[in-house]
Structure formats: C-alpha cells, structure tokens
Structure 1
Amino acid sequence: MPEAVVQQSEANGPPAAGHRERLARAALTRVFEPGDERGGRWIREVGPVELIRRLTSGDGSAQLLKGMTATKLGGCRLRASGADPGRDLADVAAIGGRFVCPGDPEWPTQLDDLGDARPVGLWVRGIPDLRLWALRSVAVVGARACTPYGAHMAAALGAGLAERGWVVVSGAAFGVDAAAHRGALAAGGATVAVLACGVDVAYPRGHTELIGRIVEQGLVVGELAPSEHPTRSRFVMRNRVIAALTRGTVVVEAEYRSGSLVTARGAQRLGRHTMGVPGPATSGLSSGVHELLRGEGTLVTDASEVAELVGSMGDLAPVRRGPVLPRDRLSAVTARVLDALPYKGGTSVLDVARAAGTGADETRGRLYELHSLGFVERDGAAWRLAVRPAPRAGDGLP
C-alpha cells in the first residue's frame, strides 16, 4: 500500500518532500479516474500525501473530506489498497519513462487551467522535455473512420506544422490522429501522443509500431498508471488534456457526435484557438466541423493558416489569390480603353475615347500599348480586338 511504501522510505532515512509527493500522486493515479474533480479538490485541500494516508488508514479522517460519500470512500479504499506506486515508478523507469508531477520543472503549467480536473500527474515516455515541447504545440484531431481526403489533410497539416517548428499533438487513434502523427514523423518533426491508457500499453494494437516510433522521435503521455487499459469515459476525459496542453486545436472531419468536437469545445472553454478544416457539405463526416465553423471556430486549409492563428506576430500565411492573367497587369486606364472596344468589328479612336471617357491622344497611346501586348489590332483607321489569343502572363508583359 502507498502508506507502507512511505513508511519504508522513512525507515531508510527522511525522504525528500518531493519523493513523498511523487509516491502519493503515483498511487492516486490508480485511485481516481482522469478528470475526477472531487479527487482534485481533495488533493488541493489536504495535499496528495495526506489524502493517500486518509484513504489507506482506518481512523475515519477520510470521511471528513468535503463531498466524500460512503460509496465513493469504499471505491477509493479498494483501489488504494491495491496501489503500489514504487513498483509503478520502477516499471515505467524500466521502459525509459518517468512520472511528471505538478511543480516539476517539466510540468506544463497550462494544464493548471483545468482547475481541479487537471491530471494528478503524467506518465511520460520519450526523451524530450514535455513542458518545452508543449509551449509550441498544436492538436490535430478528427474522425477515426475518416475519408481519404481527411487522412490527406491531417497528414499534410502534421507535416506542414512540423516543418514550421510546431509540435503536433494527437491521440494515436485510427484515422485522422494516426495521419497527423505520421505526417509529423515523415517530416522529421516532433509529435506527442496522449493516450487513454497506460503509456506501456499500445492501443490500438494496430498502432504498436506507430506508438513505438513516437516514443523514439517524440513523446507518449498518459494520466493512467502502467498497464491500465482504455474505456469509453477515459477516451472522453483524455481529450481535455489534449485541449489544455496545446495552443490550439484543429479538427479534421468529425460528425455531430464526435470526441474530436469534445476536444474542440474544451479548447474553446480554456480560451485556446479552435480551428476546423472544411469538407463537402454533403459529407456526414464534415457535419460536426461545419457546425464548429458556424460558431467560434476558424476555418483553416493548411499549416500556414494554422501557424498564422496560433503563432507569434509575423507568422503570416501567404496571400491567397487566383492565377494572374495578362489583363490583370494592365493599368486601370488601359483596361478601360480595352473594355471600350466592341466585341465584333472595328471602331475609331474617337469612338473608343468617347466610350472610355479618355482624351483622344491618351486613347491612341493606350491602343498602341494594347497592340504591342497583343490585345488589339489596327485595320486602317479602325481598331478591333485581336483575333488571336492574348499572351500568357509573363510573355512580354511588364
């Protein structure tokens, strides 16, 4: 039991306060489900060491906790009695992992925005510093059963963000999550997988190789103790960590009832940027994204637009415009003279000047300019539109 571990440590000499708290928090990851606000409030009020002592002792002090019921106490004590934080810490260390607590230098303080629902602690695998990586991170989430379009967009976003120095965060699920991770990995970039199970559990099993690559090139993070398996509620609560950890969330394909929209709405509540990639109006997989965009979500189509929204001043996306046509390069007056020529047949300089509202001499000069560019032809005293097509952009144009 956790209290026994603490007593054993004290028998070997007075432990550091950080060590006692780490043991207690590690034990509490087996006691409370992710996002348990009552548990979070008790940790805040009495501290993790005192809380685990109350839950494992029979002195009745646990019943004094505000909001503690007999049912809740029975469940907590049952779980606490089977917790062995020393073994959990050793097991994670054996696979190159660690347990990060609030107050540690590696703790991402933006998770504190979750209040009492913040994680008790985070189990982490991978070499990089989680706090530093989270400072410049974006979540890319979406449908598991995504379309080829959704997978393409997620991979392109993952690669594009990675190339711009952003960390791509997702949940390692099938579909959009996996495509975003793979896009970042393929670009030689940074990616973080937030799991709804223990960090030593490859879930889904089909992503064993992918999660292994993320451990080598990035980070795998989870709230649950080693060997814990996912449940429906754990997937939902995992999403709040993704939302809080990152500076913004991009949703790529999501139905009306989608866990990805839970992440997006969580990001909105926390004041984070919320973005969506549009899809066909007839696609049910894009219906949730479009609903998000009708609200406070921002429409994005590529990594540069995401970076412009969540990045620092100066991270601007390129200006979007269609192809530049030869006519676009004409001055306003020259274009007006060109528009004054009839569609069929020729006309005089005076008639063109009258239609364009310009002087005769200026009109004549503009017509010769248009003639040199291939827009018009002269037939004696008459001017007409050129029969042959005008040149392409760049062919002799200024």
Structure 2
Amino acid sequence: MPSGRRHLIRSLVKSPIARFLAIGFVTLVILTLGTNILATQAANREALAEAQTINEVLATSVVNPALPSGMAMGLVKGNAGSLDRFDRIIAGRLDLDSLKRTYIWSEQGVVVYSDRTELIGRDFGLTPEQQRVFDEGGTGQLVEGDPSTTAPALTAGTDNIVQIFTRIEAPNGTKLLFEGYYSLDGIEQRRQQIYEPFNFITVGALVLLLLLVAPILVVLTRQVKVAAFERERLLRGGLEASDAERRRIARDLHDGVVQDLAGTSFSIAAAAREPDLSPNVKTSLMSANQAIRDTLKSLRALLAEIHPPEIHADRLAAALADLTAPASALGIQASISVEGAETATDQQAALVWRVAQEAVRNALRHAQASTIAVTVRSDGKVLVLEVVDDGIGFAADAAPASDRYGLRGMTSLVKDSGGRLRVDSAAGEGTAVRLEVAVDE
C-alpha cells in the first residue's frame, strides 16, 4: 500500500470526526435494523387487528341485523327461500377489495351461506380455533399455511389469505360463525402504510441528530486542536528556553572551569617532568595530575548530561564513548560496539543515545556492576541498542523511585518514536535494556 494512502488511513482513524461519523453510521444501521424488525412486527399486528375489526363490524353491523330468528333457523335447515332472501338483503354490502370470500357456519360445521354457492350445505367441520370462538365468542384467525386450516376446497382459488371469523347470534339464540377471507397483500399494503411514517420518523430523527451534532463536533475538534497547538507551542518555548539556559551553563563551565583545570593539568604535568624534583614530589604531582584528569572526564560527562551534544549517526560511537567515560573512575570496565548505524537517521541516533544515556547512568549509580557493555547494530531494517551490566539487578516492583521515573520516561520516549523498549532484570542477575526501532527506508 502506498505511504500516502497509509497516511490518509491513519489520519482518518485518528480523526475524532471520522470516528464519530463511523460510530454514528454503525449505530444508525443497528437502530434502523432493530426498528425495522420491531416496527414490522407492530405493523403486522396492527394490520391484522384492523382486518379483525373490519370482520367484526361486518358481522355485527351487516350480517347479524340481516338474520331475524326465522331466517337464521332457515339457513341452518338449508331452506332455499331463507337463503335467497338473505342473499338479496346483504347483496353488495360485503363488497370490499380486501375481502375475497365469505362463509357463514353452523355450530355443526356446515356452510349455511357463502359467495360460492356450490359449497352451501356441505359439512366441512370446524377447526379447533373456530370451535373455540364458537364456544367462547369473540374473533379468531387462521393464516394460510397453518396446519389447522380448513379443507382445501374452501380455500381453492385464493392465495396469500388470512381467515378471520366472528361469532354472531340471532335473536332466538341461534349461534353462527361469520368468516371472511382477507388478502394478505392488502394487509401488507396497510402494514406499509402504518410502518413507513414510523420508519421515516425514527431514521430521519437519527440522521438529523448526526447532521446537527457533526458541525458541533467539528467546531469542538478545531478548538481542541487549537488549544493543543497552543499548549505545544508553550511547551516548545519552555523547552527551548531551558535548552538555551543549559547551553549557557555548559558553555560557561567549558570555557571557564574545564579550561582552567585543563591548563592546571598541563602545568602540573610539565612541572612533574623537571629533572631536579625528588621522586616523592614527582609522584605527588603525577597523582594530582591524574585526579585533575579524572575530574575533567567527570565534568565533560556532566556537560553532556546538562546539554547533550548534537548526535549524528556517523558520530554515534564517539558520543556513546563519552557516556561511558566516567566508568573507569569507578573501577567499571565499559565496552562500546557500534556496527551498521550509518543507515540510521540522526533522529534515530539521538533516540539511541538518549536511551543509552539513561541506561548507563542507572548502571553507574545503582547497579554496583563490574562491566557495562553498550552494543548498537543494524541489519538495514531494524536498529538495535543493548545496554547490559552484571550488577545487582532489581525486581520490577522494587526499583528505586528515580529509576522507575527514568524507565517511564524512556518508555514514553521510545513509544512516541515508534520503537520498542524492553528492560529485563532480576535481583542478583544484572540488567539488560534493549531498544528496537525501524530504520527509515
């Protein structure tokens, strides 16, 4: 993948606006799907409830009033005159687009009236649900495909229907069951009519919320970025001021005390070479000269800590040697090995130096080591630093507070630079600090 595309992807992943919009989109999809399921179920129930209401209205307001006691008995007995009179009374009153077929059942399961005259008088029996409504009253339903649906002859010529039946009762107490076959297509249309406004309100509200919140988030993000930039500017200014002060102190020490001590060392060395000096005096002068030289090394190491030198990859070995210079005065044998560091950038070399500085400083101050080995190597892809000592080591939870602070600082520095830092140590087993950072191609 090209680096430009990778950078764009990283920018989008880190952008709070992109994250908000992504989370908002996922939330919108989840809520929309959940709302669709719940709304569909609710709309189906409502559409079927409306169909039941229509059937009840037809049963109680159209069919039942057209059935006086004598006519109801005539229908049950199959009287042709009663059937003809009833058909003329309700003719046209049951013409609804969603109503595909009508039946009136006797308690024995006989069709006493239907818009399909060839089925009148036939005994098909009642389904358990129809029998329940006959016994308890009210309204029931059977959806096409239900294993308890009625005989195929009753549903012949109809597709995708629901059967809804309501008990009616003539003035003389004769109980009948009015049944209508309603098209599920019509119910589905009604379901859509119920569902779509609700879906529009739900999804529209969520989309509107995203549209309203996104500009606010953009403004807030810009304000945060401005504040972060200002904070970074102030921090950078403070660091630059501190760096300038450290440079001044280091310059004054180098041009003053260090030069004076160096001159004193040369003078003492010259005086020690006088031929007429006694051996005791010459020995004292040489000891004093060595002490001054050791002090100079310590001062130069201190100057490097006060103001680190500008580190370049080709001068990394010399800079690391300066770091370990104080080791000899403490009786510690220090070794430096640098191979392949030329492929690293100056920024990576500076990172290696800073980590090595902290590791060597801790080893000199706390490790009680006899040897310190600083190794830098690179295979062209990864730059590796290892600082190993044979000191007393430490347990991770028992490290001195100053060491823990230094370790946290190193870890943060390495993480910000895209590298990996590992510190291995145990009581009595020395310490090994390992840094790995990818070499920029």
* Greater per-residue helix proportion: 2
TM-score normalized with structure 2 length: 0.18
Please identify the structure whose Cα radius of gyration is greater: 2
Higher relative contact order (Cα pairs below 8 Å, separated by 6+ residues): 1
* Greater per-residue strand proportion: 2
